[in-house]
Amino acid sequence: MTTPVPAAVPAPAPPRRTAFHPLTVSEVRRLTDDAVEVTFAVPEELEGSYDYLPGQYVALRTTLDGTEIRRSYSICAEPRPGEIRVAVKRDLGGRFSTWANDFLKAGDVLDVMSPSGGFISKHPMNELNHPGDLDLSGEDVFVAVAAGSGITPVISIARTVLAASETVRFDLVYANKAAMDVMFLEELADLKDRYPSRFALHHVLSREQRISPLLSGRIDAEKLATLIDSVLPTRNVDEWFLCGPFELVQMCRDTLASRGVAAEKIRFELFTTGQPNRPEGQAGRPVAADPDADNYSITFRLDGLQGKVASPTHACETLLNAALRVRPDVPFACAGGVCGTCRARVVTGTVEMEENYALEPDEVEKGYILTCQSRPTSPAVTVDYDA
């Protein structure tokens, strides 16, 4: 996708700047053979930096075999001060998730970025970490479709909205290969016990036969249509939450759009773009700057300080890649256009953004870009990470 980005207009209240802090793992709890829940203790003096809304994620940073790696993980608990809980599912052959499942233990210290992300309810929450303040009115209905580790942000959202109002209904379609892969099995059963008439859980298993054929096999467009027509309370759904593999999320979005569901009622989160090329390929790519060559001039503001870097036009590098040459603390996590950590606002000049799975259309309208996906198209570009 190539998106010409217009110059910026004034932005609303600035989001909190994300920053890494070393946090100690207080517990590692096995959820399934291939998934662990990891709890980080947040010291009192840092609590203000780790407030979050249900659905947000943290980036974790560590060094494995001499290489720094960053990965994002959604927070799986409802907002509460003093800790951050994430769940890491082993990705076959994956570096961080394999290490976390096999070796991470209580007492280890990892760099944890303060929470961010836009996979959150649009119902205003008056204060972070106070789900009781969620502004819900009347009989709000939420429906979520999650697959595999896509349950992590969804369970946090479900717990929060169900606790926030006695009239909320939450339906969850949760897809897995087999029963043994289901993360948070007990916690989901507890939610059902606690809210028997308001929380409905539909487990769909692709490799196991369930009594209902509807709940067996992969969720394709046909199965989703049947679920919508026969099982889900799809009239007057307030918000849809979709989190899982790229193809499933896209299929759900297309199906909902074809049924006239307004885009602003659909929130989605992707953990990867599903593309074979390695996402982190760009961030940190070595580029030799030559002052006599043709260069783009990139200026950026970060934490109130201005940085400037020349980017050779032939290098076709992203703004993030160039900025990292002069400021190693420029924020990023996935480098693949899915997490939104590298967001900045274009102040002058123009850029082209390749992929965008993280910014809402209204943010793009206002001039926000993902710097890991954006390349200059004018000789000089200024962006503001603090906006």
The structure tokens 């899982």 sit at 244
160 binds ligand FAD (CB under 6 A): no
Q: Check binding of 117 to ligand FES (CB under 6 A).
A: no
One of 62, 114, 121, 152 touching ligand FAD (CB under 6 A): 152
Neighbours of 182 (CB within 10 A): 20
Q: Does 32 bind ligand FAD (CB under 6 A)?
A: no
Choose among ligand FES, ligand FAD, none what residue 342 binds, the Cβ cut-off being 5 to 8 Å by kind.
ligand FES
Q: Which residues pair with 382 in a beta bridge?
A: 299, 348
Please list every residue from 314 through 353 that binds ligand FAD, using CB under 6 A: 334, 338-339
Q: Which of 75, 141, 344, 372 is close enough to bind ligand FES by CB under 6 A?
A: 372
Decide if residue 95 touches ligand FAD (CB under 6 A).
yes
97 interacts with, out of ligand FAD, ligand FES, none, CB within 5 to 8 A per kind: ligand FAD
**Quick check: 176 binds ligand FAD (CB under 6 A)?**
no
Query: What's the token pair of residue 15?
Result: 């989001």
By C-beta, is 224 or 338 nearer to ligand FES? Answer: 338
Exposure string of 347-382, with b = 16+ CB inside 10 Å and e = fewer, is bebebebebbbbbbeebbebbbbbbbbbbbeeeebb
Tell me: does residue 57 bind ligand FAD (CB under 6 A).
yes
Q: Is residue 77 a contact point for ligand FES (CB under 6 A)? A: no
Instruction: Scan for tokens 């932005």, then name that residue.
Output: 11
Please name the residues in contact with 20: beta carbons below 8 A apart, sequence gap of 6 or more.
59, 61, 111, 112, 113
Applying the rule CB under 6 A, the residues between 241 and 300 that interact with ligand FAD are 269, 271-272, 278
Show contacts with ligand FES in window 286-345 (CB under 6 A): 332-335, 337-342
- What separation, in Å, do the N-terminal and C-terminal C-alpha atoms of the chain show? 24
Sign of CA dihedral 181, 182, 183, 186: negative
- Report the partner that residue 332 touches, choosing among ligand FES, ligand FAD, none (CB closer than 5 to 8 A by kind): ligand FES
Q: Which of 74, 114, 295, 373 binds ligand FAD (CB under 6 A)?
A: 74
CB of 386 to ligand FAD, least distance (A): 22
Please calculate the CA angle 118-264-6 and round it to the nearest 5 degrees: 75
Q: 151-164 vs 185-194: helix axis angle to the nearest 10?
A: 20
Write the DSSP symbol of residue 33.
T
Residues that bind ligand FAD (CB under 6 A): 57, 71-74, 86-89, 91-98, 117, 149, 152, 269, 271-272, 278, 334, 338-339
